[in-house]
Amino acid sequence: MTSVDVKDLRYQYHDGLEALRGINLSIEKDERVCIAGPNGAGKSTLLHCLAGLLKGNGQVSVANAELKNLDSSIFGLVFQNPDDQLFCPTLGDDIAFGPRNQKLAKDVVAERVRESLALVGLEGFEYRHPHHLSIGEKKRAAIAAVMACKPKILALDEPWANLDARASRSVTDILKNFDGTVIVISQDLYYAAAVCKRMVVMDGGMVIADGDMKKLLAQEKVLEYFVAVDDDGCPLCHSRTRI
């Protein structure tokens, strides 16, 4: 069963910039895919099109239906900046926001809040102010807010960015344990490879490589995108992105 099917997707911002220039991408149910590539490649724009937040030209089908509005029980998007996701006075309200919108009963909403906070290791954080959390806690809280809606497809924009090793491992474990399709934009290939088998590399609004992550990273032209390589294609330094 197909989870996401995109055909010749183009997206142009109001100022005329063509951020997506003909994307073709098909993701199967329960597949785990990392979308990587340089800054400005169009990765976030693509995710926003999948979430139905932006409407491009072309065909976007999510869970075998045309996504007209963001349906939180199908597609959950964790924004790159957790401050875009957390806007309530308490974390409990932030986590409850999605389930309440799904018109779930009060006790079910309360259970979802407890469950998803526990899932990300933030038990008892219901009454904390989101803006007083550390960046690692905020990122996990933003994931909890999306998990509370029980989406079939979990999409995350740079979940490991700016996290220390412990917080990164915690996010990695959350994604490994998620039961469903995972689409994750990341340059942190060390962590991404622990979650995803497949990598889609984007550049200039196009998909330039798509396949098994470790095989792709063995290709010099792909590796160059992520680490400095010498004339023989060997990585110059030991970095977190080394696989």
Ligand X SMILES: Nc1ncnc2c1ncn2[C@@H]1O[C@H](COP(=O)(O)OP(=O)(O)O)[C@@H](O)[C@H]1O
Among ligand X, Mg ion, none, residue 39 binds (CB under 5-8 Å by kind): ligand X
Least distance between ligand X and beta carbon 185 (Å) = 7
Among 3, 44, 170, 241, binds Mg ion (CB under 5 A): 44
Give which of Mg ion, ligand X, none residue 17 binds (C-beta under 5 to 8 Å, depending on kind).
ligand X
| Residue 116 touching Mg ion (CB under 5 A) | no
Nearest Cα residue to 142 out of 179, 174, 189: 174
What span, in angstroms and rounded, lies between the C-alpha atoms of 33 and 17?
Answer: 26
* Whole-number CA gyration radius for the chain: 18
| Cβ nearer to ligand X, comparing 43 with 138 | 43
How many whole angstroms separate alpha carbon 132 and alpha carbon 182?
28
Nearest distance in Å: CB 219, ligand X:
20
- Looking at the Cβ atoms of 27 and 185, the one nearer to ligand X is 185
Cα dist. 101→68, 104, 118, 169, 221 in Å? 16, 8, 21, 31, 45
Query: What does the DSSP 8-state code read for residue 129?
Result: -
Interface residues with ligand X (CB under 6 A) are 13, 15, 17, 19, 39-45
CB nearer to Mg ion: give 92 or 158.
Answer: 158
Here the tokens at position 101 are 């919108």
Pairwise CA distance, residues 21 & 19, whole Å: 7
CB of 233 to ligand X, least distance (A): 24
Output 95 or 216, the one with its CB closest to ligand X: 216
153-157 and 181-185 beta bridge pairing:
parallel
Give the binding-site size for Mg ion (rule: CB under 5 A): 1
Amino acid at 38: P
Please state the closest distance from residue 119 (CB atom) to ligand X, in A.
27
CB 187 within 8 A of CB 35: no
Here the tokens at position 42 are 């169009």
Nearer of residues 22 and 40 to ligand X, judged by Cβ: 40
Task: Compare residues 148 and 185 and give the one whose CB is closer to Mg ion.
Answer: 185
Which residue has its beta carbon closest to Mg ion?
44
Binding residues for Mg ion, rule: CB under 5 A, are 44
